[in-house]
Amino acid sequence: MGRDPHYDVLFEPVAIGPVTARNRFYQVPHCNGMGVQYPSAMAAMRGIKAEGGWAVICTEECDFHVTGDVTPAIEARLWSEQDIPIMARMTEAVHRHGALAGCELVYGGPAGHNRQSREIPMAPSAMPVFGSEPGNARAMDKTDIKNFRRWHRQAALRARDAGFDIVYVYAGHNLCLMQHFISRRFNFRTDEYGGGIENRTRLMREVIEDTKEAVGDTMAVAVRFAVDELAGDQGITADGDGAAVVEILAELPDLWDVNVSEWPNDSQTARFAEEGFQEAFIGFVKSKTSKPVVGVGRYTSADRMVSLVNKGVLDMIGAARPSIADPFLPKKIEEGRIEDIRECIGCNICVSGDFMFMPMRCTQNPTKGEEWRRGWHPERIAPKESDSSVLIVGAGPAGLECARALGERGYPVSLAEAGTELGGHINTVSLLPGLASWARVRDYRVGQIQNMPGVEVFLDSRLDAEHVREFGFDHVVLATGSSWVGDGIGETHRRAIPGADQDHVLTPDDVIGGAAVSGPVIIFDDDYYFMASVLAEKLRGEGQDVIYVTPAADVATWTHNTMEQGRVQTRLLERGVAVRTAKSLASIGKGDAELACVHTDRRETVAAGSVVLVTMRVPDDSLYHELTGDQAALDAAGIRSVTRIGDCLAPGLIAAAVYGGHKYARELDAPAPIDNVPFRREILELSNDWPVL
């Protein structure tokens, strides 16, 4: 099957200064939690994207001087010649598949903290370091500026020596010094680097010129610039300083990579932003420059991409998250396999890895982060090792992925679902406010399974142990999911909350299932992810008075890791939800509830017509215990293994359930690891010059 000619424009080459991209697909710089600590893993992850058809593959932030240290974030690094071989590992992996490699040099300034180097951060003007951290960044003098220019030039040459084809001058996401010079929020200088926009742009102009002079025609020089900080007149705006900067520097760089700032604005989740929401801000850039322009918008629709090019909005389709969910997105469009694209759901689980200082993961793509570590390729999987048959009970995210991957390997699979449709709890979660795109987890896998003759699906098939034993499968996989507890046990309460056994006390399962709710409704969030806030939004939208109670310091506190927390809390407050933070639910009465301050235990009583407990989930694993409790019956039935996966083993993120299903499928019939470590580890070489003190 060939590609639709309608998409031919996406596969035209694009000249970027002295280099040429083979098509219009551009993986913009994105963090991944690998970088300097796991360089082989980072290189393999980037190389697979090049294999998947992306024409340009960029690094994450690459800090380049000890005074601009971004530790503890796990990023790339080019402090000295010592770092070049590490970065060359990535460029070699990218070049192996005919793509260009780009390096995003970053100097954190007040956003960098210098926690490893312990140097004093520098900024355009004296200011506190970012992140509610004690300490100040000092104002740069003329010598500091001269040094900074020299350091950036040296770093560009190190990037060239590492094999990069494109080097960045970075002024985006409020994470880098040059944006701080441009933004009136941070630049209060009165010399030639402060005041009007020409002066505030001076350093960026000088650095672009320095970089181009240093690398000559051996590399392209790209600018990544936040044309709008979404901070109003206090910051850069698309119709103000953002447009002015593009006009001033229009023809200097070889490529413009444009977005909005800060990172939570640039990478909004699907709950809060539609595909392509940045077009309203970046749409003007093409009219200001003849150089190619790349932008992002969580694009997964090939038709939308074509429209952006044809309308003159973008020259290249930028992507971070869609390239994570499906590294082979370009190749699938090129080969006419649109239906095989694993579309990003916009959940930002990938982002959470960076905030938790660990290699990234992805809800849609369970191989993400495992390319080098486990040798998992997103589009290739080893064929079956035997003719063993597998019964999977439960068709939620774990069961669907397990069936899909086993089917791809060639195993005969029967997938039994107690309900009348595939998808498990995704079917109901995706109907909650803002979460419609999460249905893509189900839709991709169902679409793949439908084309697999070796996978049989049985709906409305609730199985007990006797049924399972009768079928004669070699292996049984239980993906029967989990349920929310109704007694309030969770992180805060290790015993049932007094009064939780009353009829007006509900679980999320009850509310989603349509149980009657009477206000005022107390929602007690001891889970800290999305569920409590989404239920609050749903019930408030239905006209209920809602009181959101949580022991945490803010609403949905784990969503700091997905960069949603501020928007979640803002939305609840704007819609009239009463928010009570740092409060535990001490007891539940017949028409009220007692709250307790988590710091002082001071008590207060509030009215409650209904109470919704969002605390923890427990596995629905009774079938597992029923089966494994009679080994003789299993032996007689010829069942060689019974395995729990996903929430049936331990409730967690949807990403964890998909990963669990995929892991089982990969490891079926595989030998056990020799040393009990089932993946490769990247162990840094010990230095031979350590001192004896």
CB 256 within 8 A of CB 169: no
Q: Please, which residues have CB within 8 angstroms of residue 413's CB and are 6 or more apart in sequence?
A: 389, 390, 391, 392, 403, 406, 407, 454, 455, 456
> Left (φ > 0), alpha (ψ -120 to 50) or beta: where does 638 sit?
left
Distance CA 597, CA 568 (A): 22
Token pair 């007690």 is found at: 524
Distance CA 183, CA 195 (A): 10
SS3 (DSSP) at 563: coil
Task: Give whole-number Cα distances, 222 to 7, 254, 531, in Å.
Answer: 26, 6, 41
CB 102 within 8 A of CB 173: no
Q: Please, which residues have CB within 8 angstroms of residue 583's CB and are 6 or more apart in sequence?
A: 549, 550, 551, 595, 596, 597, 598
SS3 (DSSP) at 64: coil
Distance CA 70, CA 72 (A): 6
Distance CA 590, CA 579 (A): 22
Cα–chain-centroid distance for residue 329?
17
**What is the helix (H) or strand (E) element at residue 138, kind and residue range?**
strand 136-139
Token pair 């370009």 is found at: 330
Distance CA 368, CA 349 (A): 11
Closest by CA position to 263, among listed 328, 379, 158, 172? 172
**What is the helix (H) or strand (E) element at residue 220, kind and residue range?**
strand 220-228
SS3 (DSSP) at 276: coil
Distance CA 548, CA 546 (A): 6
Distance CA 33, CA 348 (A): 14
CB 75 within 8 A of CB 63: yes
Render 373-385 in DSSP notation, one character per residue.
Answer: TT---SS--PPPS
**What is the helix (H) or strand (E) element at residue 228, kind and residue range?**
strand 220-228
**How many Cβ atoms are within 10 Å of 265's Cβ, its own excluded?**
23
- Which two tokens mark 317? 């389709």
Catalytic residues: 31, 170, 173, 266
* Cα angle value 476/482/488 (rounded, 5°): 150
